[in-house]
Amino acid sequence: MAQTRETGLPKGFRGAEQGWPELDRIPHPPRRLPLLGDVIGVDRHRPLQDSMRFGRELGPIFRRRAFGNEFVFVWGSRLVADLADEARFAKHVGLGVANLRPVAGDGLFTAYNHEPNWQLAHDVLAPGFSREAMEGYHGMMLEVAERLTGHWDRELAAGRTVDVPGDMTRLTLETIARTGFGHGFGSFERDRPHPFVTAMVGTLTYAQRLNSVPTPLAPLLLRGAARRNEADIARLNRTVDDVVAARRRSGGGDGDLLDRMLETAHPRTGERLSAENVRKQVITFLVAGHETTSGALSFALYYLARHPDVAARARAEVDRIWGDTPRPGYDQVAKLRYVRRVLDESLRLWPTAPAYAREARHDTVLAGEHPMRRGAWTLVLLPLLHRDPQVWGADAERFDPDRFDAKAVRSRPAHTFKPFGTGARACIGRQFALHEATLVLGLLLRRYELRPDPDYRLRVTERLTVMPEGLRLGLERRTAPATTAATPAGDGSLTIG
């Protein structure tokens, strides 16, 4: 099937009309405008949250029409579980993901299933995400986290609150850049974001905007934005080319992701990544490897600040397992079970990559009810899957990390918690993100009490990923009174400077 160049979507197959023979049975919002579609009351900048609102009204499968294109959304747990069947369904590169093709090309995240560079890069890079590899990254992750606490100590000393999403983005970008590519962006030494970050945010925002304008008019409406987008992409390419050139000059690093990309041959075929593909992979990992983790940390800190009881329990765990060791080791991070649950529960309510798309490999019937033709696709709406009352109960909106204790997890059906996607194209960086985020939450909980602004109301911004907007927290440094500093570990009162 021919594919349009800009979007990568199959020509004449943008909407759901041809792929879903019984589309009529799928509910849509009641007040539909001719030509424009379901646009009444929607917020162009918050398509995800609009879809969540529609989904709550319309049920586990529904459709939205925008500018002549019809999209099917799914969030009911039974339907999502069926979509996880890899024999009948696969990742669909569409909408937001397809809009990133000009930036990330056939890099891992945006590659079509049939593109040979996907399997090649997957096989070459997978060992870079093994447990041993994580142990290797741990020291650098810790170093970057210490830059964060240094920065927060200075903000605290100056009597300022901290910019949570801004600082988490600094942290996660530095972490992936240094551990993966031996390159620092100096994020904590700058007042304004590194130009690479500005360019990256620009391309993500642009990719999201492309979805909210009528396709035939996009070139006209977005002419200025398209030109800026070209400049942003050029900036990303330039930055990456510099990093690669520096590595080639230095003659190799310590076996990080960049070394793998440049030097490792495929274990069976002996093939290597081309220079052009390396560029796409580096951009892919710098973008995919920090934006979502930054959001996950930001939401977790939001919930920790709002739930002092949860924070106290998590802090007690950190004190118990880490004691007063200044630099916790890899295993000591892996042992922070409750902190991990806080993270999981945050990713349940706000999965920071909030949707993924699945397409039918051949004609099939979704969950025995909805016929789909080969190539037909649908978007899995994670925040609603993660709040399906049939799975999570009537209080699904409540933040409660105990939903992730081992027994509760075992009692739930498969495919009900999917923040990292599903199947062969699921997130390769999952362990990386979880280790990094758990380590950082542990360090922050051990060092500070979090003081929320009582007037702050959660607002979620969307640019393909989600982030708590304008979240600032007050801090207090925990200090151990001399008498309690030596109490036996386990009672939660031990405090480390």
Cβ 423 to ligand MNH shortest distance, Å: 8
Determine whether 292 is an active site residue: yes
Cβ 403 to ligand MNH shortest distance, Å: 17
Cβ 465 to ligand MNH shortest distance, Å: 8
- Residue nearest ligand MNH, Cβ-based: 429
Q: Which is nearer to ligand MNH, 29 or 354 (CB)?
A: 354
Determine whether 420 is an active site residue: yes
Cβ 189 to ligand MNH shortest distance, Å: 23
For tokens 């579980």, name the residue: 81
Q: Which is nearer to ligand MNH, 41 or 139 (CB)?
A: 139
Cβ 457 to ligand MNH shortest distance, Å: 24
For tokens 């130009």, name the residue: 195
- Please name the residues in contact with 249: beta carbons below 8 A apart, sequence gap of 6 or more: none
Q: Which is nearer to ligand MNH, 86 or 324 (CB)?
A: 86
- Please name the residues in contact with 115: beta carbons below 8 A apart, sequence gap of 6 or more: 106
Cβ 420 to ligand MNH shortest distance, Å: 5
Q: Which is nearer to ligand MNH, 285 or 392 (CB)?
A: 285
Catalytic site residue from 427, 432, 438, 495: 427
Cα 326 to the chain's mean position, in Å? 30
Q: Which is nearer to ligand MNH, 37 or 94 (CB)?
A: 94
Q: Between 195-209 and 223-250, two packed helices, what is the crossing angle to 10 degrees? A: 140
Write out the two tokens for 347.
């990713």
Q: Which is nearer to ligand MNH, 208 or 495 (CB)?
A: 208
Catalytic site residue from 292, 352, 422, 465: 292
Cβ 429 to ligand MNH shortest distance, Å: 2
- Burial, 462: exposed, middle or buried (Cβ in 10 Å; 0-12, 13-18, 19+)? buried
Sites of contact with ligand MNH (CB under 6 A): 91, 97, 108-109, 122, 176, 284-285, 288-289, 292-293, 296, 351-353, 356, 419-421, 425-429, 432-433
Q: Which is nearer to ligand MNH, 39 or 240 (CB)?
A: 240
Determine whether 427 is an active site residue: yes
For tokens 């030509």, name the residue: 35
Q: Which residues are catalytic?
A: 292, 420, 427
